[in-house]
Amino acid sequence: MGLMSESIFEKIKKKYKNQPVNTEDGLKIEFDSDWVHLRTSNTEPIIRIYAESDYECKANNIASRLMQDIKELM
């Protein structure tokens, strides 16, 4: 993970400090029964965002919110 992505992950962790967070393989943030997982790519200069929820629109909204967070933190 590059220095920029480490810094972004730390800032996102602080923003969501009241949520359960797991940093074992990237950054996973839980929102009740929903979650989002951020990982850096080993082959490309990108952050992959995976979101899971009981409804596709909720998962998309969570992923969009994290994409906006990343844009604001860059």
Please tell me what DSSP assigns to residue 37: E
Considering its fold, how many domains does the chain have in total? 1
Q: Which domain holds residue 16?
A: 3-73
Q: What is the pLDDT of residues 12-54, one digit of tens each?
A: 999 999 999 999 999 999 999 999 999 998 888 899 999 999 9
CATH code of residue 14: 3.30.310.50
User: For the whole model, what pTM was predicted?
Assistant: 0.87
The sign of the CA dihedral 25, 31, 33, 35 is negative
